């Protein structure tokens, strides 16, 4: 009887142990399932957060690129906020802040772009900032119609219509150079704008053969040592940088016409056929001719600035020759002496052309500032 009871108790204990073990196993499985579910939930949130971040980041980048593009297309953009919802429903909001900074010989604008990107569900935002340098190709618009490094020993002919306020209010200025202007040999004449327009430059001159008036500023100790740097904020030994910034690089000046505009770079001699008109008052050109003569035949006309540039290390002489009434409305500049080989040059100061050289959007440039990008 006692043995039966013991055996019965033993079976009951075994059943309880199995029940407890099964319950424990079930609890462990349940905990494992819940833990796995929680891990999956966390993993899903991580994936979602990552996707949202990438979406918001891409939107912020798109906004920053849009702002840089806007600076190219609308150089006068004042930095006002603009927004856009993208195709995937993410969006960006962008604004800019301008600051004037002195760089070399010019004042340029540094534009700080701030772009905030938001994911489609609005749960993630990313802020990106980047700075851009906005500058004009022509760093220092000249106020003199003829600028020459190396002086003028005139053996040919020229007519220059002066800037009536180039030397100060009511003080005309026609020629600026670092060395002497010799008017004893050629037929050089300077005069006022009205006299030039009336065809009376030679009969009512400021300066003429044998007489040099105050409208000619020569032997000036303040004349720039580097003409390219003075005009374009680019040292002459870095001329390739300016060349790469040109709107057109040509090998034949007869490709130019009245529709031409912007910065044009010509390597070698430049010849314009008779009657050719290049640029306009509203859309002038800056024509840089390197290591070559400039010849403008009868009636040819350039609206803007012509810069005869002799590269560092080159010793050859180059000449400017404007034949049969050919002229430049604006500025003629040279970083080397001209006038020694019967050159003929006619330059007429045109305030409207000079204003467009400074303000026309064609001459505005935008460059991203290296190292300025931030996403924090």
151 closest CA partner among 68, 239, 217: 217
pLDDT tens digit at each of 376 positions of the chain: 545 555 555 666 777 777 777 787 887 887 777 777 666 666 667 777 889 999 999 999 999 999 999 998 898 899 999 999 999 999 999 999 999 888 766 778 999 999 999 999 999 999 999 999 998 899 888 989 999 999 887 766 788 999 999 989 999 999 999 999 888 877 889 999 999 999 899 899 999 988 999 999 999 999 999 999 999 999 999 999 999 999 999 999 999 999 999 999 999 999 999 999 999 999 999 999 999 999 999 889 999 999 999 999 999 989 888 888 899 999 999 999 886 545 567 889 999 999 999 889 999 999 999 999 999 8
Which value, to the nearest 10 degrees, does the dihedral of the CA atoms of residues 136, 138, 140, 141 take?
-110
3-class secondary structure per residue, 153-204: ECCCEEEEECECCCCCCCCCECEEECCCEECCCCEEEEECHHHHHCCCCCCC
Q: What is the pTM of this model?
A: 0.80
SS3 state at 334: strand
Task: Locate 337 and state its tokens.
Answer: 């002496």
């Amino acid at each position: 009887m006692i043995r039966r009871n013991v055996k019965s108790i033993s079976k009951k204990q075994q059943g309880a142990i199995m029940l407890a073990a099964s319950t424990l196993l079930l609890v462990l499985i349940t905990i494992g399932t819940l833990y796995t579910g929680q891990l999956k939930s966390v993993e899903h949130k991580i994936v979602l957060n990552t996707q949202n971040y990438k979406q918001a980041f891409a939107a912020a980048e798109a906004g920053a690129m849009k702002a840089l593009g806007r600076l190219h297309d609308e150089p006068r953009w004042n930095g006002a906020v603009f927004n856009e919802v993208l195709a995937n429903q993410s969006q960006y909001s962008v604004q800019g802040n301008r600051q004037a900074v002195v760089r070399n010989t010019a004042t340029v604008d540094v534009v700080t772009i701030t772009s905030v990107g938001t994911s489609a569900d609005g749960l993630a935002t990313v802020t990106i900032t980047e700075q851009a340098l906005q500058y004009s190709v022509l760093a220092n618009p000249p106020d003199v119609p003829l600028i020459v490094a190396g002086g003028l020993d005139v053996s040919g002919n020229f007519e220059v219509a002066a800037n009536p306020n180039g030397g100060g209010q009511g003080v005309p200025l026609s020629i600026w150079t670092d060395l002497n202007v010799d008017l004893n040999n050629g037929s050089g004449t300077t005069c006022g704008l009205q006299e030039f327009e009336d065809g009376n430059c030679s009969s009512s001159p400021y300066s003429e053969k044998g007489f040099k008036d105050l409208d000619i500023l020569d032997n000036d100790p303040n004349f720039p040592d580097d003409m390219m740097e003075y005009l374009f904020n680019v040292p002459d030994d870095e001329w390739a940088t300016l060349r790469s910034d040109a709107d057109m690089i040509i090998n034949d000046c007869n490709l130019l016409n009245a529709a031409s505009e912007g910065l044009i770079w010509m390597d070698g001699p430049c010849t314009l056929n008779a009657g050719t008109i290049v640029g306009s008052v509203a859309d002038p050109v800056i024509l840089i001719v390197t290591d070559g003569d400039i010849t403008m035949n009868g009636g040819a006309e350039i609206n803007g600035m012509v810069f005869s540039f002799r590269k560092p290390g080159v010793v050859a002489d180059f000449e400017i020759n404007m034949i049969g009434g050919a002229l430049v409305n604006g500025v003629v500049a040279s970083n080397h002496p001209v006038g020694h080989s019967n050159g003929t040059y006619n330059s007429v100061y045109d305030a409207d052309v000079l204003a467009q050289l400074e303000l026309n959007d064609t001459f505005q440039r935008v460059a991203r500032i290296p190292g300025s990008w931030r996403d924090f």
